[in-house]
């Protein structure tokens, strides 16, 4: 018997977990485009190793909450990633938009946990939200840097290790 996580909340938590895996896949695709099309090996590695690889860990945190309260969670399917980008600016704008959408979904999940009177989950999700704030800051930084460097993507690539942070 589970009274700490309602069925509707558990379902939404599974969807949030899926969104984090979705972000991982989209960032893996961005890494490929950065590396192959734009020839930005340093920046693509940072996006891949520091950003893309961190999203499954966020998913694990959602699933760990369900596990802690003895809820059987599900891994939902994630669509493919086949996007192409004309410019690095376009790509970083897409990343910023997706990061904000992911944050909105996380905030809706937090609100749902409160509406469902699942306060233990509410507090634990709040911790994830605080952690996710750095992803938003990172996405803003990456977009601003892309705009700042403009077409000088080789300079952006070589400088990226100086200013990339997560």
Residue 122: what pLDDT?
96
Nearest partner of 13 among 84, 63, 67, 71, judged by Cα = 63
Residue 78 region by backbone torsions, left for phi larger than 0, else alpha for psi between -120 and 50, else beta: beta
112-121 residue pLDDT tens = 999 999 999 9
Residue 4: what pLDDT?
77
Structure tokens at 67: 């596990």
What interhelical angle do 88-115 and 119-149 show, nearest 10?
Answer: 170
Any idea of the CA torsion for 120, 123, 128, 133, to the nearest 10 degrees?
A: 160
| Class of domain 7-163 (CATH, top level) | mainly alpha
Domain positions in the chain are 7-163
Spatial CB neighbours of 154, under 8 Å, sequence gap ≥ 6: 39, 40
pTM above 0.85, yes or no: yes
Q: Count of CB atoms within 10 A of residue 148's CB?
A: 10
76-114 residue pLDDT tens = 778 889 999 999 999 999 999 999 999 999 999 999 999
Distance CA 155, CA 161 (A): 11
């Amino acid at each position: 018997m589970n009274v700490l996580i309602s069925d509707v909340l558990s379902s939404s938590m599974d969807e949030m977990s899926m969104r984090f895996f979705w972000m991982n896949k989209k960032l893996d695709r961005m890494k490929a485009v950065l590396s192959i099309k734009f020839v930005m090996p340093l920046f693509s590695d940072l996006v891949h190793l520091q950003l893309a690889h961190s999203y499954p860990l966020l998913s694990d945190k959602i699933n760990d909450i369900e596990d802690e309260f003895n809820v059987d969670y599900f891994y939902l399917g994630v669509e493919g990633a086949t996007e192409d980008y004309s410019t690095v600016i376009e790509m970083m704008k897409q990343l910023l938009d997706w990061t904000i959408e992911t944050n909105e979904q996380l905030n809706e999940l937090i609100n749902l946990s409160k509406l469902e009177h699942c306060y233990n989950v509410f507090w634990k999700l709040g911790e994830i939200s605080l952690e996710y704030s750095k992803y938003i800051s990172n996405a803003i930084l990456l977009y601003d840097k892309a705009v700042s460097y403009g077409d000088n993507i080789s300079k952006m690539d070589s400088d990226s290790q100086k200013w990339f942070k997560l």
